[in-house]
C-alpha cells in the first residue's frame, strides 16, 4: 500500500434538460441543455404522459417481496422522449416514488450515482398510445424496516427539451396504500473481497484496475487533505469557498470543515472497499448506509486522475455520500449547476456531493 495513501493522505420526465442526470458532468453546456439529443422533439407536457401505480397485493408479509408496478402511457398524438434514468425502465435507480409511513418520509436506501452527461442512448421514446410497464421491489431501495401502512405515489417534474424557458409541470400518479411487515434492509450480493492492506477489492478487479484504484485513492486523499487544511485556515469569504458553498457564514464554513475532516479521516483510516463489477456507463455509485464500499463503473476508467470530474474527485464525491461521513445528496449536477446552487441556496450547496467534489478538485484553481 502506498505510504501516501495511509500516511498523508424528481423522477423527472425530461426531454433533455437543465434537470438532467444524477451526478452529471460539468463544463458541457450543450449536453446540459439537451442540445443535439432529440432535435425537433416537442415539449413534454404533464397531459402527454399518464402514470399508473398499482400493487398485486394489499398486504406483504416479512418474507414476501413488496412489489409494485409503474406504467407510463403516452396519451398524446406525438412521440415523447424520456430520460431513462428517471423512469423505471432499468429499475429504481432514483427515488422515483414518494413513500411515507405514518405521514413521515421513508428513506431511499438505493444507490447514489455519478453519471456522465446524458446522450441520445440515455433516452427512450414512447410512440402515441405506447406504454412502458415495470414491476419493482420497494425493499431494494426503500427502508421497509418498520411495520405499518405505507402510502405510495409518483410525482415528477416535466421539462422542455433544451431546458430553456420550459413550462413547469408535474407528472403525477394515483396514490396506493399497502400494509408491509417490517424486514431487514436488502444488501447487494458480492464476492469475498481481495485485500491489499486496508484497501479491499471486489467485483473481479484486474491487477491493472487495482493499481489505478490505488492511484485514485492517493489522489482523493491528497484532495481531501488539501481541502481540510484549507478549511482549517482563517474562516472568510474566499473565492474558493463562495464559488462552491455560497455566501460566507461562520456556520457554513464550520459545516464544510467538519465534512472534509470526516472525508479526510475516511480516506486516511477507514477500511475502504472498491468494487469493479459495475458495467454501466456511469462513473460510480454507493449505498449511503453501507460505508465504505464504492462501486466504480465504466466512465471512471476513462476519467483523468485529477482535475474536473476526475477519478480522485469521483471518489471524494462518493465518499461524501456516506451517512457516517458527510451524508450529502444530489441536488444538482455539474459545475454550472453547483455554482448556481451555491448562489441560490448555500445550505443545499453544503449538502450537495458535486459541490464537495469541485471544491476538492479546485479546477480551475481558486484561492
The catalytically annotated residue of 94, 140, 318, 361 is 318
- Please give the backbone phi and psi of residue 206, each rounded to the nearest 5 degrees, phi first: -75, 165
Rounded-to-integer distance, Cα 267 and Cα 224, Å: 8
> What percentage of the chain's residues is helix, strand, coil (to nearest 5)?
30, 25, 45
The SS3 of residue 251 is: helix
Buried b (16+ CB within 10 A) or exposed e, 267-286: bbebebbbbbebeeebbbbb
Rounded-to-integer distance, Cα 127 and Cα 189, Å: 37
User: DSSP letter at 110?
Assistant: S
- Establish whether 130 is a catalytic residue: no
Distance of CA 13 to the CA centre of its chain: 17
The SS3 of residue 31 is: helix
**Cell numbers of 73, please?**
402511457
> Which residues participate in catalysis according to the annotation?
318
Amino acid at each position: 500500500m502506498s505510504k501516501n495513501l495511509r500516511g498523508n493522505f424528481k423522477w423527472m420526465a425530461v426531454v433533455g434538460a437543465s434537470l438532467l442526470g444524477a451526478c452529471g458532468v460539468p463544463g458541457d453546456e450543450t449536453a446540459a441543455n439537451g442540445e443535439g439529443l432529440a432535435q425537433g422533439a416537442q415539449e413534454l407536457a404533464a397531459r402527454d404522459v399518464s402514470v399508473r401505480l398499482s400493487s398485486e397485493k394489499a398486504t406483504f408479509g416479512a418474507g414476501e417481496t413488496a412489489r409494485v408496478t409503474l406504467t407510463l402511457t403516452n396519451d398524446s398524438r406525438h412521440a415523447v422522449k424520456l430520460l431513462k434514468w428517471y423512469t423505471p425502465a432499468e429499475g429504481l435507480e432514483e427515488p422515483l416514488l414518494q413513500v411515507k409511513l405514518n405521514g413521515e418520509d421513508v428513506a431511499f436506501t438505493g444507490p447514489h450515482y455519478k453519471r456522465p452527461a446524458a446522450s441520445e442512448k440515455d433516452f427512450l421514446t414512447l410512440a402515441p398510445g405506447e406504454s412502458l410497464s415495470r414491476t419493482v421491489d420497494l425493499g431494494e431501495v426503500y427502508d421497509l424496516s418498520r411495520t405499518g401502512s405505507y402510502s405510495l405515489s409518483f410525482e415528477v417534474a416535466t421539462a422542455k427539451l433544451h431546458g430553456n424557458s420550459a413550462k413547469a409541470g408535474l407528472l403525477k400518479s394515483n396514490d396506493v396504500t399497502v400494509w408491509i411487515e417490517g424486514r431487514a434492509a436488502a444488501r447487494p450480493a458480492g464476492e469475498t473481497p481481495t485485500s491489499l492492506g486496508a484497501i479491499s477489492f471486489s467485483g473481479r478487479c484486474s491487477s491493472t484496475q487495482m493499481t489505478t484504484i490505488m492511484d485514485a485513492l492517493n489522489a482523493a486523499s491528497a484532495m481531501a487533505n488539501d481541502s481540510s487544511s484549507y478549511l482549517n485556515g482563517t474562516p472568510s469569504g474566499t473565492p474558493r469557498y463562495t464559488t462552491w458553498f455560497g455566501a460566507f457564514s461562520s456556520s457554513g464554513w464550520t459545516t464544510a470543515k467538519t465534512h472534509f475532516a470526516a472525508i479526510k479521516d475516511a480516506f486516511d483510516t477507514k477500511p475502504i472497499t472498491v468494487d469493479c463489477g459495475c458495467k454501466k456507463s456511469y462513473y460510480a455509485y454507493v449505498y449511503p448506509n453501507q460505508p465504505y464500499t464504492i462501486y466504480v463503473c465504466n466512465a471512471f476508467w476513462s476519467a483523468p486522475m485529477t482535475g474536473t470530474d476526475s477519478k480522485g474527485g469521483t471518489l471524494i464525491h462518493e465518499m461524501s455520500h456516506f451517512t457516517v461521513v458527510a451524508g450529502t445528496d444530489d441536488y444538482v449536477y455539474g459545475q454550472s449547476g453547483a455554482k448556481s446552487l451555491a448562489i441560490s441556496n448555500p445550505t443545499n450547496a453544503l449538502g450537495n456531493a458535486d459541490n464537495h467534489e469541485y471544491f476538492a478538485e479546485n479546477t480551475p484553481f481558486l484561492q
